Amino acid sequence: MEAKQIRMREYAGTRPVRDIWVLTKDPVRALADGDVSVAIDTISIDPGMTGWITNKRSYMPPVKPGGVMRAFGVGEVTHSKSADLVVGDWVTGFTGVQTHGVYRAENLRKIDPSLAPPEKFLSGLGMTGYTGYFGMNDLGKPKTGETVVVSAASGAVGSIAAQVAKAAGARVIGIAGAPEKCAYLIDELSLDAAIDYEACDIGEALAQACPDEIDLYFDNVGGETLEAVLGLMKYQGRIVVCGAISQYGDFAGALGPANFMAVVTHSLTINGFTMRDYMHRVPEALGWLVPAWKDGRLKMREHVIDGIENFPDAYDMIFRGENHGKLLLKIG
């Protein structure tokens, strides 16, 4: 049996990122004991992929040149030599950008498609949902009446984090990059204010939206937005650093904010994290996310692109901010 794959020719940085991808078609290896074969239905396109295509230090090893591009996916088991997974089970995990693959059963997590459509387990009920939930709830610890700011608030992680803060009773201001995205934050997610960073001076807009300063900032973008927020943080305020999408394309390394001494002068707490810190607690996140989604307290949306051959377009799209919701690539 043959499958299609997107492979990384070489590390990013020496040529445009778009040129490092190649579509291949190779046989699927035979199953060993403990293996399962999976037909991939959908994969997740994530900003963190940038850290996997460079040989610089990151939170996990990079993809090796010539290797299948790493990605989270969902799919259906088609053959099994495992006692834990049977044909017809739906699973999620690091499937890679490919139409079919063979994996060790212990490296996959079974999902229940009766709870929600499988692609939801790559969206608000998947890694991005867990990230927003734990980052905000476990590290941020929002409280009733506090002012919370979330950057990239219309994105997959930011939208969940913002809704978790609202559920805790906080006043939540979302930052996004288009009028329709800001409208989504107000009209659909019921945030208290939304700032279009493309249409204003971000510092001035934040000062107007946060007259009592900022208790908690959930950072997805870094750069100028982080610098503006630092100037408005309340004494002993908290910052949760989830990502820095504004700087992901700078493979030479980006500089920190010029006013970083505010961390000292205002006794700020900064926590960075990745989901590897929380994988053992996924059931806890699902215990809140699934009921909240089912009863309408939690909203999530997906932006779906069709076809494995369109992976380069989808990858570029997320860094141009063109997706509206969790960006997914439909494979099956």
Question: What is the spatial distance between Cα 215 and Cα 261, in angstroms, rounded to a whole number?
Answer: 17
Q: What are phi and psi of 185, to 5 degrees?
A: -65, -40
Q: What are 196-223's pLDDT values in tens digits? A: 999 999 999 999 999 999 999 999 999 9
108 contacts 127 by C-beta, under 8 angstroms: no
> How much is the pLDDT for 296?
95
- Bridge partners for 42 per DSSP: 74, 330
Asked if residue 120 has pLDDT above 80, the reply is yes
Q: Do 89 and 152 sit in the same domain of this protein?
A: no
pLDDT band at 251 (very low <50, low <70, confident <90, very high): very low
The structure tokens listed for 83 are 């006692």
Backbone angles phi, psi at 301, to 5 degrees: -140, 155
CATH number at residue 155: 3.40.50.720
Same domain? 115 vs 136: no
Burial of 12 (0-12, 13-18, 19+ CB in 10 A): buried
132 in the same domain as 115: no
84 and 138 belong to one structural domain: no
Q: Say yes or no: 70 and 174 in one domain.
A: no
Under the banding of pLDDT at 50, 70 and 90, the label for residue 130 is: very high
pTM: 0.89
Instruction: For residue 231, tell me if it sits in a domain.
Output: yes
Tell me whether residue 182 is in a domain.
yes
Do 219 and 243 touch, CB atoms closer than 8 A? yes
Instruction: Please report which confidence band the pLDDT of residue 255 belongs to, taking 50, 70 and 90 as the band edges.
Output: low
pLDDT digits (tens, 9 = 90+) for 77-98: 999 999 999 999 999 999 999 9
- State the Cα–Cα distance between residues 272 and 39, nearest whole angstrom: 35
**100 and 82 inside one domain:** yes
- What is residue 248's predicted lDDT score, i.e. its pLDDT? 56
Average pLDDT over residues 268-273: 96
Q: Check whether residue 90 and residue 204 sit in a common domain.
A: no
Residue percentage of the chain with pLDDT more than 90 = 86
Could you tell me if 143 and 268 lie in one domain? yes
Q: Is residue 31 part of a domain?
A: yes
- The domain in which residue 323 lies consists of 2-123+301-330
Annotate the chain with three-state secondary structure: CEEEEEEECCCCCCCCHHHHEEEEEEECCCCCCCEEEEEEEEEECCHHHHHHCCCCCCCCCCCCCCCECCCEEEEEEEEECCCCCCCCCEEEEECCCECEEEEEHHHCEEECCCCCCHHHHHCCCCHHHHHHHHHHHHHHCCCCCCEEEECCCCCHHHHHHHHHHHHCCCEEEEEECCHHHHHHHHHCCCCCEEEECCCCCHHHHHHHHCCCCEEEEEECCCHHHHHHHHCCEEEEEEEEECCCHHHCCCCCCCCCCCCCCHHHHCCCEEEECCHHHCHHHHHHHHHHHHHHHHCCCCCCCEEEEECHHHHHHHHHHHHHCCCCCEEEEECC
Mean per-residue pLDDT for 264-277? 94
Shared-domain flag, residues 59 and 194:
no
Do 315 and 259 share a domain, yes or no?
no
Q: Do residue 113 and residue 73 come from a single domain?
A: yes
pLDDT in tens, 153-196: 999 999 999 999 999 999 999 999 999 999 999 999 999 999 99
Handedness of CA 148, 151, 157, 162 (dihedral sign): positive
133, 270: one domain: yes
